[in-house]
Chains A and B, each alone.
Chain A
C-alpha cells in the first residue's frame, strides 16, 4: 500500500512536470499607440522564450485617458502589472497614489546597464525613489523641409539668426510653390500652459542652457542675460515676428501637427517618435533634422532630451515578481533593438542602426550634443505652483504682446521671485 502511494505520487509529480507550463498574462498600459502595441508584443514573444506560457497584453490609451485610468486602477486595487510613459507623467501617478514601486534594487540586479547615463538615472528618480526603469530617451530637435530650403536657396539653419532669415523667406517666397501666400515659417503650440512650456523648454535647452525658470538652487533666472535673450526671442517668435500661424495661441498638439503635416510650416519640432511616421507618411521624408539652432557663439546648441520614457510597477500589481522580470528584460538588447525600430527610441548604444533612415540615425546614434530638461519639480515642492504662475504670465504676453519685451521679462522675474519666496516659506 505504501509503495503504491509512493508510485502514485511520483506519477502525479511527473505528470505535472511534463505538462504544459502554467500560462500567465502580464498587462501593460501605455500611450504609444499601435507601434507601442507591436513593440510590446514583439518583446513579449522574445521574453516568452525564457518564460514559456507568459503572454504580454499591452493596451494603449490616449495620454489624458491613460493618466486617469492608471490612477483610478491603482487606487481601486485593479492595477495593471506595468505602466509605461514619460517620467513626468509617472511622477504625477506617484503623487496621486504613492503606490509606484522603488526600482533601485531592480536596477541594481541588472548587470548590463553601462549605457545608462547619470542624467538618465537622475530624471528617473523622484522623492528618493527610482520610479521608472529608463527605457527610451525622448529626444527632440529641429526639422526643416528640405524642398522648401532648396526653393528659397538656403541650407539647414545653424544659428538663430539663420532661422530668422530662413523664416522670412519661408513666409514670403512661396516655398511650396502653389502661388499663394499660405505658408508659415514655424509650427508651434500654446493652447494649454504645458504646451507653451514644452516649446519654451525646447528653445531654452536647445540653446544649451540648463534651466528654464529656476536654477538648481531654486533661484529665478529668467532675467539673466542668456536666459532673457532666449525668452525674448521665444515670445517674439509667437507674436511680433509673424513666423507662426496667427491662431497658434489656440493651437494644441493636434493643431500643431495639422500645420506640420498639412504642409503649412517649414520649421518644426521633430521628436524621435515622429520620424518613423514622417519618413513614410505626411512629410514623406522631405525634411532635414539637426540640433536646435545656436543662440550665442560661446554656447553650444543641442538636441533636447525632453524626458525619459520608462516602465514603472505599481506596488499592488497583480503579478509583481514577473512584472519586475519583464521590466528588466526591456533593457536587453533584443527589446531595445525592437524599441528603436518600432518606436524610434532606445537607451542602449550597441544597437544595429544600418536599416534606419538618416533622420532616425540622427537620434539613434545621438549625433548631436544632448541636453536634458532640468525637472525642478523633483527637487522643489513649490515649483509646480510657481511654474503655473509663469505660464499665465507668458500666455498673457502672447495674447497682448508687451511693447517692451525686456521690461516684461524683468517685471516677470521680479514677480516670480516674490511668489517663489512666498511659496517656499509655506510650511
Chain B
C-alpha cells in the first residue's frame, strides 16, 4: 500500500488508492467511525459547551456567551493557582517517574541481577495492572496517621511521624510516591524493550577501549534510549497533566487546596453544574496537552531526520 501522507491531494489518486486498498479501508472504516464517534465527537461537544451559558448548556437551544467562560476562569485566581500547581506537579512527576524508571530498567538489564529478572519485571509491572482506585485506597490507609503502616514503622524506629496526606508540606510528596508506584512499571517496560534491541557491540567496544561503567551508560546506552525517553516523557506529561483519580481517592484536592489540580477543579465545577466554566477549563488543559504532545512529536521527527 502506498502512503497518501505527504503527497499533493488529487481526487483521482484518492479513488485510485481506495480501489487499490479497498479491503484495508473496509476493515479500518468501522474503527475510524468509532474513533470519530466516541473520541472526536465528545471533544468537539466539550468545546461547544465551553462557549455556552452553564444554565442552558444542555438544552437544544443553548445560549452562547462567546469567550465569557474563558475570561471568567482566567480571571479566577484559584484557577490560575491550580494551573500553576498542575504544571509544577507535572514537571516533578515526569522527572521522578521517567528518571526512576530509567534507573530501574538499567538495573534490571544489568549484570548485577543474575537471577530472578523475570520476577522483578512482573513485580514492577503489577501495580500498573492493579485498579488505580484500589491501589490509591491502600496508599491512603498506609499514610493514615492513626493506623497507617508507614507511621507505625517510623514510630518503631523512633523517627518523627510523616505528615502524609494531612499536611500541606508532605501531601504532594505522598501522592507523588503513590503515583510513582502505580505508573513507573509501564515506563520501565518501555525502557526494557528499547534496551533489548540496542546495539550491544558499541558497549563492548567502549569497554575494550577502557570506558568505565558509568561512562558507557552515559555515552553509549542512554543515547540509544532516546526514542524510549521521548515516548515515556510524552506519555508521562499527558498522564500527569490530567492527574485526577489519585486526588479524588486520596485528598479531595486538600489540604487547603494543595492538590487541587486543574482536572479536579473542573470536576468540582461540573459537580456544581457550572458546565461552561468546567469545559472551558478542560479545553485549556486539552490545549496545553496538545501543545506538549505536538512539540514532542516534532522533536521526535527532528531527531529522526538528523
Task: Give Cα distance in the complex from A67 to B57, angstroms.
Answer: 15
Task: Give Cα distance in the complex from A398 to B273, angstroms.
Answer: 28
Q: Which residue of B58, B143, B256 is within 8 Å of A396 (Cβ)?
A: B256
Residues of A within 8 A of B250 (CB): 250
Give the shortest distance, in Å, between B133 (CB) and chain A (any CB): 13
Q: Which of A233-278 contact B (CB under 8 A)?
A: 245-250, 252, 264
Q: Would you call A381 an interface residue if the criterion is a C-beta within 8 Å of the partner chain's C-beta atoms?
A: no
Whether B146 and A399, one on each chain, are in contact in the complex, defined by CB atoms closer than 8 angstroms, is: no
Give the shortest distance, in Å, between B69 (CB) and chain A (any CB): 15
Whether B145 and A71, one on each chain, are in contact in the complex, defined by CB atoms closer than 8 angstroms, is: no
Q: Which residue of B58, B166, B272 is within 8 Å of A250 (Cβ)?
A: B166
Whether B252 and A250, one on each chain, are in contact in the complex, defined by CB atoms closer than 8 angstroms, is: yes
Q: Which of A170-218 contact B (CB under 8 A)?
A: 182, 184, 190-192
Residues of A within 8 A of B146 (CB): 182, 184, 245-247, 264
Interface size on B, residues (CB 8 A): 30
Give the shortest distance, in Å, between B212 (CB) and chain A (any CB): 48
Q: Would you call B258 an interface residue if the criterion is a C-beta within 8 Å of the partner chain's C-beta atoms?
A: yes
Residues of A within 8 A of B112 (CB): none
Whether A395 and B257, one on each chain, are in contact in the complex, defined by CB atoms closer than 8 angstroms, is: yes
Residues of A within 8 A of B254 (CB): 190-191, 249-250, 395, 399
A50-63 to B contact mask, C-beta < 8 Å, 1/0: 00000000000000
Closest A residue to B268 using CB positions: A192
Q: Which residue of B54, B56, B60, B166 is within 8 Å of A249 (Cβ)?
A: B166
Task: Give Cα distance in the complex from A190 to B257, angstroms.
Answer: 12
Residues of A within 8 A of B173 (CB): none
Stretch at the interface among A27-35, A39-47, A89-97, A317-325: A89-97
A373-399 to B contact mask, C-beta < 8 Å, 1/0: 000000000000000000010011011
Residues of B within 8 A of A184 (CB): 146
Q: Would you call A370 an interface residue if the criterion is a C-beta within 8 Å of the partner chain's C-beta atoms?
A: no
Whether A191 and B147, one on each chain, are in contact in the complex, defined by CB atoms closer than 8 angstroms, is: no
Q: Would you call B236 an interface residue if the criterion is a C-beta within 8 Å of the partner chain's C-beta atoms?
A: no
Whether A247 and B166, one on each chain, are in contact in the complex, defined by CB atoms closer than 8 angstroms, is: yes
Residues of A within 8 A of B306 (CB): none
Give the shortest distance, in Å, between A308 (CB) and chain B (any CB): 21
Task: Give Cα distance in the complex from A190 to B272, angstroms.
Answer: 18
Residues of A within 8 A of B168 (CB): 399-400
Whether B252 and A252, one on each chain, are in contact in the complex, defined by CB atoms closer than 8 angstroms, is: yes
Whether A68 and B56, one on each chain, are in contact in the complex, defined by CB atoms closer than 8 angstroms, is: no
Residues of A within 8 A of B272 (CB): 92
Residues of A within 8 A of B203 (CB): none
Whether B255 and A71, one on each chain, are in contact in the complex, defined by CB atoms closer than 8 angstroms, is: no
Q: Which residue of A72, A191, A398 is within 8 Å of B252 (Cβ)?
A: A191
Whether B166 and A64, one on each chain, are in contact in the complex, defined by CB atoms closer than 8 angstroms, is: no
Give the shortest distance, in Å, between B4 (CB) and chain A (any CB): 41
Residues of B within 8 A of A252 (CB): 252
Give the shortest distance, in Å, between A417 (CB) and chain B (any CB): 19
Q: Would you call A155 an interface residue if the criterion is a C-beta within 8 Å of the partner chain's C-beta atoms?
A: no
Task: Give Cα distance in the complex from A68 to B54, angstroms.
Answer: 12
Whether B273 and A71, one on each chain, are in contact in the complex, defined by CB atoms closer than 8 angstroms, is: yes
Residues of A within 8 A of B143 (CB): 247
Q: Would you call A75 an interface residue if the criterion is a C-beta within 8 Å of the partner chain's C-beta atoms?
A: yes
Residues of B within 8 A of A72 (CB): 58
Whether B256 and A192, one on each chain, are in contact in the complex, defined by CB atoms closer than 8 angstroms, is: no
Whether B58 and A71, one on each chain, are in contact in the complex, defined by CB atoms closer than 8 angstroms, is: yes
Q: Would you call A98 an interface residue if the criterion is a C-beta within 8 Å of the partner chain's C-beta atoms?
A: yes
Closest B residue to A252 using CB positions: B252
Residues of A within 8 A of B58 (CB): 71-72, 75-76
Task: Give Cα distance in the complex from A245 to B143, angstroms.
Answer: 13
Whether A92 and B60, one on each chain, are in contact in the complex, defined by CB atoms closer than 8 angstroms, is: no
Task: Give Cα distance in the complex from A71 to B55, angstroms.
Answer: 9
Q: Would you call B144 an interface residue if the criterion is a C-beta within 8 Å of the partner chain's C-beta atoms?
A: yes
Q: Which of B56-91 contact A (CB under 8 A)?
A: 56-60
With A92-B273, A96-B54, A98-B55 as known contacts, state yes or no: A250 contacts B258, CB within 8 Å.
Answer: no
Pairs across A and B, CB under 8 Å, 29 listed: A67-B271, A67-B273, A71-B58, A71-B273, A75-B59, A76-B59, A92-B272, A95-B55, A96-B54, A97-B55, A182-B146, A190-B254, A192-B253, A247-B145, A247-B146, A247-B164, A248-B166, A249-B254, A250-B166, A250-B251, A250-B252, A250-B255, A392-B256, A396-B256, A398-B256, A399-B168, A399-B254, A399-B258, A400-B256
- Which residues from chain A sit less than 8 Å from chain B, CB to CB? 64, 67-68, 71-72, 75-76, 92, 95-98, 182, 184, 190-192, 245-250, 252, 264, 392, 395-396, 398-400
Q: When A and B form their complex, which 6 residue pairs have the shortest distance between CB atoms, in order from nearest?
A: A399-B256, A246-B145, A191-B252, A399-B255, A75-B58, A96-B273
Given contacts A75-B57, A182-B147, A250-B252, 17 further A-B contacts (CB under 8 A): A71-B273, A75-B55, A75-B58, A95-B55, A98-B55, A191-B252, A192-B252, A192-B253, A245-B145, A249-B255, A250-B254, A395-B254, A395-B255, A398-B255, A399-B258, A400-B168, A400-B256
